Chain A
Amino acid sequence: GDSVTQMEGPVTLSEEAFLTINCTYTATGYPSLFWYVQYPGEGLQLLLKATKADDKGSNKGFEATYRKETTSFHLEKGSVQVSDSAVYFCALSKGGGSNYKLTFGKGTLLTVNP
């Protein structure tokens, strides 16, 4: 079945450091790929997405590029802030209609220290 693998956390960085969170997927066909972010005590919010190979999703300084050849969708940010501390989830969706669902990775906790 479809699956998403994220790098194990937790990840601890200093403010203004470069961030990479690795995400790879296993799926047949052509999934759409997402990054969601969960701030403490809150629900998940869509951070960015890409729907086809070589698409780059970007938002709030975060970027991820859909790489079909390596089945990857790594999240990057050039300079993290304390306010970026959260849990980040990579996810994929495939197919359409009523069976539509997102498959999530296990999440990566990011802590940014001042």
Chain B
Amino acid sequence: DTAVSQTPKYLVTQMGNDKSIKCEQNLGHDTMYWYKQDSKKFLKIMFSYNNKELIINETVPNRFSPKSPDKAHLNLHINSLELGDSAVYFCASSYTGTGVLGYGYTFGSGTRLTVV
């Protein structure tokens, strides 16, 4: 069973389009994240949700809108795609109860978004 699964794995689309990436985890974790990895492999957090509540919202254009229908799912919708949005987007999940500082994340395999 895949622990954190993202779909699609690859996404090629034209500028100005709207697209969504889906993420699901079956680990029973209570927090999910979206990270963006640029061409230099730098990872930057975008959002986190804890039990469907938005917790972390870094400086991200408001064209990006996360949605969490339940604690096992976190989707990312992107409006009016731009060339600079091309990157690999990773979903991750974690358990954030007290006393679990060393828990770490479990990552999905990533979605490579290419805007042409």
Contacts and interface: CB of A to CB of B under 8 A. Distances in A.
Contact of B43 (A45, A94, A107): A107
A34 B43 CA distance: 15
Interface residues of B, number: 31
A44 interface: yes
Contacts of A31: 101
B99 A96 contact: yes
A51 interface: yes
A67 B50 CA distance: 31
The listed residue with most B CB atoms (<10 A of its CB), out of A34, A44, A95, A104, is A44
A21 interface: no
Contact of A96 (B53, B55, B101): B101
A98 B96 contact: yes
Interface in B79-112: 90, 92, 94, 96-102, 104-110
Interface in B1-43: 4, 31, 33, 40-43
Q: Across chains A and B, which 3 residue pairs bring their CB atoms closest together, nearest first?
A: A51-B102, A98-B50, A43-B107
Given A32-B104, A46-B104, 18 more contacts: A38-B41, A42-B110, A43-B4, A44-B92, A49-B104, A51-B101, A87-B41, A93-B101, A96-B96, A96-B97, A96-B98, A97-B96, A98-B96, A100-B96, A101-B45, A102-B105, A106-B41, A109-B41
